[in-house]
Amino acid sequence: MKNKTKKLDIKKIKKQVKGITLIALVVTIIVLLILAAVAINLTIGNNGIFTRAENAKEITEIAQWDERIEMAIAAKTMEKQNLTIDDIIQELIDEDIIDDASQVNKENGDITTNKPSYVISDKLKDYISNVKITISKTPETEMSGAVLLKVEKVEGLKPIDLKSLDITSLNETQKKELIKIMLVVAKNHFEGTDFKGFEDFLQYVGMTEPEFWKSIDDIEGYLSEGIEVLINERIQYVDSYTIINPENKISNEFLAITNGKYEFKVKEILTGKTYTETIEVTNIDINMFPYYVDSIGGKIYLLNRNDNKMTDFERAYIIYNGERVDITECISKDENMYIKMGTIAGFLESIGKVENYHDVGGTTQTFEILKKDKNYVGREIVEWLE
């Protein structure tokens, strides 16, 4: 029997080899794509080399800010006792950690650092205060030549109980600060005045502060007598703080005549702690600058800022008990145009705004003078009435 020899089918072999080569190529490409994806992910993925490097950089920067903040707080603590959050904020500004107070959240103590900006928490929790200072603006948004800023309310500070107060434990500064508060309370209570602070009292009596303290021989005795008078009038509690306006005067009001940020301070008498609140004014009309309202010799005038000369005006108003009352008919003129304080008080009585015109004496009032359709605002004490 003859052996049968199979002939090789070259075409078939070539076809099989070609098929295997294409499969290998596809598999190779897929493997390469997988390897590339893995490499990319390791490089720039959520846990990649670049991401981890960026995270490490951020962690380092945060740690550096954290350390700077701790050092600033430590330095301020060594410099001053009874630190408030405002003291820390000022230190952070001085150390260029923040640009202004708005970068600190006073409610939770979060600090937003300068660039690169990070939020650092849990550094100011021991300094966060529940003291809240509410400041109003009049007018609030309407363009004006002046804007009256007023601390309407201070929350979170307990009043001083005069009955339980041991005045022998107070130092001289504390005694003087308490006298300032009590004098305003007493004057407003007994004489119906509307003093906003100690400066109003000094202006009313025509004395400087050094002159006033020189007139008192025994500070502690004066304070003791004042406390007794108030308690007899059933006034047991007085504010435990003084309000210092942006002019550094003891008053809860300030008349702003330029746009900008204004800071009020609330200072506790017994602890010496100071709390601040800033308000921004943006509605001052710079075209109203040439004139200002002032009182001279019991008369209201409108004066030119450049030469302080008195000028004529068209209309006048008084903001009395929150109401804008037209007092244009009270305007008088001889050599200059003016409005007499006594005339204003009598007019308020005639239209039923006050029971007796003497009630206006000693009060601080807001006057608004109009000239060429522009209003100029001033705060003046009604010094005396004829």
Segment 223-278, tens digit of pLDDT: 999 999 999 999 999 999 999 999 888 888 888 888 999 999 999 988 888 888 89
Q: How far is Cα 334 from Cα 316, in angstroms, rounded to an integer?
A: 17
Whether residues 303 and 345 fall in one domain: yes
Share of the chain above pLDDT 90, in %: 38
Q: What is the mean pLDDT of residues 299-325?
A: 90
CB 72 within 8 A of CB 66: no
Can you give the three-state secondary structure of the chain, one letter per residue? CCCCCCCCCHHHHHHHHHHHHHHHHHHHHHHHHHHHHHHHHHHHCCCCHHHHHHHHHHHHHHHHHHHHHHHHHHHHHHHCCCCCHHHHHHHHHHCCCCCCHHHECCCCCCEECCCCCCEECCCCCCCCCCCEEEEEEECCCCCECCEEEEEEEEECCCCEECCCCCHHHCCHHHHHHHHHHHHHHHHHHHHCCECCCHHHHHHHHCCCHHHHHHCCCCHHHHHHHHHHHHHHCCCCEECCEEEECCCCCECCEEEECCCEEEEEEEEECCCCCEEEEEEEECCECHHHCCEEEEEECCEEEEEECCCCCECCCCEEEEEECCEEEECHHHEEECCCEEEEHHHHHHHHHHCCCCCCHHHHCCEEEEEEEEECCEEEEEEEECCCCC
Is a pLDDT exceeding 70 seen at residue 1? no
- pLDDT tier for residue 164 given thresholds of 50, 70 and 90: very high
CB 375 within 8 A of CB 288: yes
Rounded to the nearest 10 degrees, the angle between the axes of helix 172-191 and helix 198-205 is 70
Is a pLDDT exceeding 60 seen at residue 386? no
Q: What is the mean pLDDT of residues 131-143?
A: 90
Segment 165-207, tens digit of pLDDT: 999 999 999 999 999 999 999 988 888 888 888 888 888 888 8
Residue 255: predicted pLDDT:
84
Q: State the residue range of the domain holding 177.
A: 132-281
Residue 45: predicted pLDDT:
58
Sign of CA dihedral 285, 310, 195, 199: positive
Residue 257: predicted pLDDT:
81
Whether residues 246 and 306 fall in one domain: no
Domain boundary, last residue among 87, 120, 153:
120
Whether residues 201 and 103 fall in one domain: no
Whether residues 165 and 55 fall in one domain: no
> Does residue 11 form part of some domain?
no
- pLDDT tier for residue 7 given thresholds of 50, 70 and 90: low
> Does residue 32 form part of some domain?
no
Whether residues 66 and 205 fall in one domain: no
Domain boundary, last residue among 253, 281, 309:
281
Q: How many CB atoms lie within 10 A of CB 198?
A: 21
Segment 324-348, tens digit of pLDDT: 999 999 999 999 999 999 899 999 9
Predicted TM-score (pTM) of the model is 0.58
Whether residues 97 and 197 fall in one domain: no
Q: What is the mean pLDDT of residues 140-161?
A: 89
Whether residues 85 and 145 fall in one domain: no
Is a pLDDT exceeding 80 seen at residue 19? no
**What is the rounded end-to-end Cα distance, in angstroms, of the chain?**
156
Whether residues 161 and 276 fall in one domain: yes
Residue 166: predicted pLDDT:
93
Whether residues 242 and 300 fall in one domain: no
> Does residue 297 form part of some domain?
yes
Q: How far is Cα 54 from Cα 175, in angstroms, rounded to an integer?
A: 58
> Does residue 249 form part of some domain?
yes
Residue 199: predicted pLDDT:
84
Domain boundary, last residue among 281, 305, 339:
281
> Does residue 20 form part of some domain?
no
> Does residue 240 form part of some domain?
yes
> Does residue 184 form part of some domain?
yes
> Does residue 197 form part of some domain?
yes
Whether residues 259 and 372 fall in one domain: no
Six-digit token string for 121: 């928490």
Q: How far is Cα 230 from Cα 237, in angstroms, rounded to an integer?
A: 9
- pLDDT tier for residue 351 given thresholds of 50, 70 and 90: very high
Residue 28: predicted pLDDT:
81
Segment 263-285, tens digit of pLDDT: 999 999 888 888 888 999 999 88
Instruction: Provide the number of structural domains found in the chain.
Output: 3
Whether residues 276 and 366 fall in one domain: no
Q: What is the mean pLDDT of residues 65-75?
A: 89
Q: What integer best gives the mean pLDDT of the chain?
A: 85
Is a pLDDT exceeding 60 seen at residue 3? no
Whether residues 271 and 142 fall in one domain: yes
Q: How far is Cα 144 from Cα 287, in angstroms, rounded to an integer?
A: 9
Q: How far is Cα 362 from Cα 382, in angstroms, rounded to an integer?
A: 5
Q: How far is Cα 134 from Cα 150, in angstroms, rounded to an integer?
A: 8
